Each structure stands twice: as C-alpha cells, then as structure tokens.
Structure 1
Amino acid sequence: MQLEQILRERKEDKDILLMTHIVLGYPSFEANREIIRQMVENGVDCIEMQIPFSEPMADGPVILKANQDSLAAGTTVEQCLEFGAEMAATYDIPFLFMTYYNIIFKYGEEQFFARAKAAGIKGFIVPDVPPEMGTTFLKEAEKTDIAPILIYAPTSTPERMTHLDSIAQGFIYCVARRGVTGKKSEFGEGFNDYLALCRKSTRLPIAVGFGIQDKDDIKALTGRADIAVIGSQTIRLVDEHGPDAVGPFIAGLR
C-alpha cells in the first residue's frame, strides 16, 4: 500500500498523526529498538529513521551531535538498511529513511532504492536534492513505489509549492520556520498564513516539523496539519533520561 493511502487511513480516527525521528545507531541500535518499541506502543503513526551523515546541513545541534556520535561509533549504511528491514517487519506502521543525497549517490541510487524497497521502506526524505537535480532519484522512486517526500519552507513561493506538489508523493513536509531543526517554533499570524498556503498548494497530507516539542505545539497544529513531526525533543529525552522516557512523553502528546 502506498504511503499516502496508509496515512489517510490512519487519520480517519485521529485528529492529527504523529511522526517521530531517530538517528540510526544513536546512542546504539539496541537503544533504537527500545525507543521505536515505545514510540509505536504509545501511538506514533510514522517514523523517519535518519541514516547518519557527516554534514547534516538541515539539522540543528542535537541531531548533528547524534549523527556525529553514531558515525564515530562505526554505524554503516548497510547496518541501517538491515535495521530498517527489521523494524518494518516488526511493526505495522510506515517507516521512512531520512538522509542526505551523498549517502544514496555513493551507495548507488538503483541499488539503494532496491534495498529500501526490499526492506519495506515507504518513503525517503532527502532535503538536499532539489527535483531539478534529482531526476534519476525521482525515476527510481517511481520505479520502486517509494514516496519522494518534498519540502515546503516559509521562503517557498506559491509557484514553487505548486511545482513541488506535482512531483511529491506520500506527504509534503512543511518546515515550520527558517533555520535548522531543534529550536522551538512560534505559531503566530505569519505561521498561520504560511500553513494555509501550504494546505492550498498541495493535494497531499501535510506534515509540520522543526521545533515541535510538546502537547501545546501538537494542539496548535491539530485541525490545520495532518501530521506533527517530533524530532530533536525525543533525542534530548534519551540523552537526559534514557530510552524509558520516550514512551510517557509520546503518550502525553495527544
């Protein structure tokens, strides 16, 4: 089943879906297993698994450090592909890979997509590959039925949004503000106008991420977005309190 259809079916009995983010291999794959278990058991609807990269330019200090520590511990792309297959076979929610294009290019686009397809991965978020430069990437996505998830930003023009919508699949990732991940976002009048433009510009579900940290943020998005994305905050929890803190946190978001 395609990612968009899965998400629309999950939303039929929920006001808003939750998507979470983990960095593979951080603090360890064993910890990743426990964190994902707690996320799924407490109602997460979709999980993006980041394959670590040395220069994750869209990510703030929390996720940047997690990438660096994972790489320093020896995490490989092969381990990430195997772990993704394990999680997709274990839990009945969609799993995505998030990474940067250099990882996929070096591995080989055709081979990477084939491995991800075999693993049961439903979509890719690759923030540094614009569609104009990702023609072969998009062809492989279509061939393997893996959704290329594209990104709207506050700086995107209506024309750009419409163009991206014509290419994207699965959902549109709407960046809540300028900058990198991690810093708390404010939902003022300008954000409301931006989110309304995002909704108007796509046929797909919309996800909002970057700085979504607590129940109040989720409440502010409910009824206006289809998916709220929690990223850096769960990593902070693990850093400060360990994996066992993740379940209660996720349970308290809705």
Structure 2
Amino acid sequence: MTDSRVATAIAAAHTEGRGAFIGYLPLGYPDLDTSIEAAVTLAENGVDVLELGPPYSDPVMDGTVIQEATQAALAGGFRLRDTFTAVKAITQRVEVPVLVMTYWNPVMQYGVDRYADDLAAAGGAGLITPDITPDAAEEWIAASMRTGLDRIFLAAPTSTDERLDLIVEHSTGFVYTVSTMGITGERAQLDAAARTLVARLRERGVGNACVGIGISNAEQVAGVLDYADGAIVGTALVRALRDGGLESLAAEARSLSAGTAR
C-alpha cells in the first residue's frame, strides 16, 4: 500500500496502543447541515476515520436502519454535488480523514476524473467502492493515483485467493474486510469468517485490514481489533443519531471508542 492519510491515521491509533475506529454515517440525514454536524461530532468523540455515504436509490449492501436514513435524505432533496459541499465543510473543521463510501454508478454518471478532482478539492481522502472490483476499476485507479486519493476495495469471505491478491495490490489506506455475507446491520455474533479472511489478507501482505458489517458495541469492537487493524461501525451510529440526535451520537461514539484499547 502507498502512503495515505487514512493509513497515517490508522498508524497513529496503533502508536497510541489501540486499533482504529472508523465511523459511517449517511450524508444528508436527517438533513445536509445536521449530517455535517454529525460527522464533526464523530471526529470529536473518538473516530479516527470518517466514512460518509451519499444516499443511493438502490443500496444493495445496506440494512434497514441505513436504508431508511438514505431514503429520508433522498426525499429531503440530497443531490450528488452535495457530497462535495459536505466533505469540504467537514474537512475545514476536523483533521480526521474523510472517505466517501459510494456505489459506482453515481461516480460513472458524474465522470470519474471529475469526481476525483472535486473530492480532492473538497479535502476528501478517498473512496470506498463496494460494488466495483480492481479488475474493473482501471479508470478509477488512474484517477486516484493522479489525485492522491485512497482506493478502498472490499474483500469478502467468498473472495478467491486471486481476487484477494488483486485487492491487496490495488487498495490503499486499508482493505474493507466484510465480516459476513449479506447486508450491513448489527449482528449478535460476528462471523468467524472475518478472522479467517483477515488471516488470508495478511498472508498476501495487506497493509491494513479493517472489519465492517455487524459491529454494534464496544465488546465487538474489541473482539475485532484482537486480529484486525480497524473496526468499522455504521448502523449503531445511525440509530443513535436517529433516536437521540447529536448528543446521543456523541455518547455512542465514545462508548464504541472505549473498545479500541489493546
């Protein structure tokens, strides 16, 4: 992996004797301004890397809580260009690197080079692209190398060794390691497949493997960080924002962050 702001943030957490905490929120929920404040709130309450998701009309990976939030954001008038407005507003206020988690179709429609340029200009750190694989991402790889943005591809328990080799070779920042097959959301028990998958990625020389999907409390964060470099939490944070606003979100972030100590 090449040097990156995201990798630097993860390394800084490790230097402090803890794993990295990556927090996801949908942009535009419950409205654009509040989603900006929510991201800043996470950065100020223990999150090392922000993962922000522009709402998408067909979110194939998202569970019910996140789907409902993204549908509300779309109904509220969120537009793709609002992504860059939000990222700029957030990065002007916090040092935490900001990743955009986006399905590939909106990037293609916007223009890959234009998207990369506008994200870099807004201070964004890179993209998490759940539905495109490195072998189909030649244009994005070129654009991200030109702009210095991180490329974060997903590895799943079903990924072949050959696919994992490609993912490790072309990812920067970290590899998003999917703990269970299926949609995001909380799981009472995290799949042991995640541990096996991280071990397979380590055999292939991965720089950082961060595990997401199904992590919802500090105990699960600690369990994942027993073998992974970072823990990614989404649904629990979105629920906290939905049910109790920014104050509840801050408390939830601090609670989850307590699980990062090693």
Instruction: Check whether TM > 0.5.
Output: yes
Among 46, 49, 53, the residue aligned to 1:50: 53
1:104 is aligned to 2:89: no
Q: How far apart, in 2, do the equivalents of 1:52 and 1:213 lie?
A: 21
Match of 2:248 among 245, 249, 252: 245
Distance of aligned partners of 1:189 and 1:92 in 2 relative to their CA distance in 1, 3 Å threshold: closer
Return the letter of the residue paired with 1:151: L
> What is the aligned partner in structure 2 of residue 160 from structure 1?
163
Name the residue aligned to 2:130: 127
CA contact (8 A) 1:187 1:220 kept: no
Partner residue, 2:230? 227
Preserved contact between residue 35 and residue 244 of structure 1 (Cα < 8 Å): no
Task: Tell me if structure 2 keeps the 8 A contact 1:176–1:185.
Answer: no
Letter of the structure 2 residue corresponding to residue 35 of structure 1: A
Match of 1:5 in 2: 8
Secondary structure of the equivalent of 2:24?
A: strand
Of 90, 93, 96 in structure 1, the residue corresponding to residue 96 of structure 2 is: 93
Offset at 1:99?
Answer: 0.9
Aligned to 1:73: 76
Q: Does 1:137 align with 2:125?
A: no
Distance 1:130 1:95 in 2: 21
1:183 to 186, 189, 199: 186
Q: Does 2:204 match 1:201?
A: yes
Query: What's the CA shift for 1:15?
Result: 1.5
Identity, % of aligned positions? 27
The CA distance in 2 between the partners of 1:250 and 1:174, in whole Å, is 21
2:220 aligns to what? 217
Shift, 1:67, TM fit: 1.5
- Deviation of 1:14 after TM superposition, in Å, equals 3.3
- Alignment partners' CA distance in 1, 2:248 and 2:26: 17
Task: Report the alpha carbon displacement of residue 229 of structure 1 after superposing the two structures with TM.
Answer: 0.5
Instruction: Give the Å deviation of 1:201.
Output: 2.6
Quick one: distance in 1 between partners of 2:196 and 2:131? 26
What TM-score, normalized by structure 2, do the two folds share?
0.91
Offset of 1:188 from its aligned partner? 5.6
Partner AA of 2:132 in structure 1: V
Residues 204-227 of structure 1: per-residue CA shift (max 9 Å, x gap): 111100010001101111231111
Which amino acid is 1:131 matched to?
P
CA distance in 2, matches of 1:101, 1:66: 20
SS in 2 for 1:195: helix
TM-score normalised to structure 1 length: 0.94
- Secondary structure, in 3 states, of the residue corresponding to 1:112? helix
Deviations 1:120-174 (A, max 9, x none): 1111011111222221111111111101101110111222211211111110000
Cα deviation, residue 114, structure 1: 0.4
Q: Which amino acid aligns with 1:2?
A: S
3-state secondary structure, aligned to 2:87: helix
Shift of 1:83: 1.0
**SS across alignment from 2:221:** helix
Report the 3-state secondary structure (helix = DSSP H, G, I; strand = E; otherwise coil) of the residue aligned with 2:57. coil
Cα root mean square deviation, aligned: 1.6
- Gap runs ≥5 in structure 2: none
- Structure 1: which 4+ aligned runs deviate by more than 6 Å? none
